[in-house]
Amino acid sequence: MILHLTISKSKTFKPAIDGQTTCTILAQHDSIYVAGRYNKYSRTLSQTPWIIDGVRKADTSVEELIALPINKLVTSKCHVFLSSGREDVDVRTLGLGRPFVVEFRQPSRISYNPEEFLAIQREINMLTKDIRVRDLQQVTKEQSNQIKEGEEEKTKCYEALCYTDRQIDQAELDQILASVPNPLVIEQKTPIRVLHRRTLMTRQRSISDLVATVIDPYHFRLRLTTQAGAYVKEFVHGDFARTKPNLTMILDCFVDILELDVLAVNIDFPPMLDNQNDENNSLCDINEK
């Protein structure tokens, strides 16, 4: 069958324009990404601005101590701070620090010399004793994505100062912890302390390399390695049995954390720089309390 189509010309109407027509073209730079690692030595400093119901609870934050000095160089319109996890306000981050990336949007330019960021790094480290920055460098957008890749697979190392409500000695601690599977798989309901901002769910995480050193009959230091996303405080005290098993169950006595430190965030990002020699001597010793 052959179909015959008849196409008629449609009328085109030219709109009437009175006066002049103007066109505005805006041009702006792409975002730039600045990566590094930070140590946090304060137990009263939040990672991001701490604002509740419009009221600021602290004068500054890790984000501001890092991003604002960099922004004096790049003069961007705004920035976005990303890190490989986050520590609580009262937790220190020691060792080689926690990886972070800051995206600066609409910067004044997009190319910078490594020496410029080294100068900013030194400025940050001179301005405050609460944090320290290392390996500050410009990275590509694709490189910056590494900070979130393998989120479930990476591990973190911690040290906790713990308290027990009964006397316990080194021999008992060693014997009990030697019987714990390595790794120990735990199930954690969303902790009560973060329920206001986290979805209620049960997460399965692994704990490994549990080592305890007695300080006195009621105190010991605990070192452990965890899968990313594990809540260490709740693993120790149990969070009203919302974390199972927990250290309180394992030791058969009440245990709580008095102090907690992050010793390592095991992610290979960003690349370590060769210009850190003058900074390394000032890094916090993980054994210094």
Tell me which residues are annotated as active site: 88
How far apart (Å, rounded) are the C-alpha atoms in residues 263 and 140? Answer: 28
How far apart (Å, rounded) are the C-alpha atoms in residues 103 and 230? Answer: 27
For residue 203, give the 3-state DSSP assignment: strand
How far apart (Å, rounded) are the C-alpha atoms in residues 190 and 199? Answer: 7
Question: Three-state secondary structure along 209-253?
Answer: EEEEEEEECCEEEEEEEEECCCCHHHHHHCCCCCEECCHHHHHCC
How far apart (Å, rounded) are the C-alpha atoms in residues 203 and 219? Answer: 29
Do residues 267 and 154 make contact, with C-beta atoms less than 8 angstroms apart?
yes
Question: Angle, nearest 10°, between helix axes 62-74 and 114-127?
Answer: 140
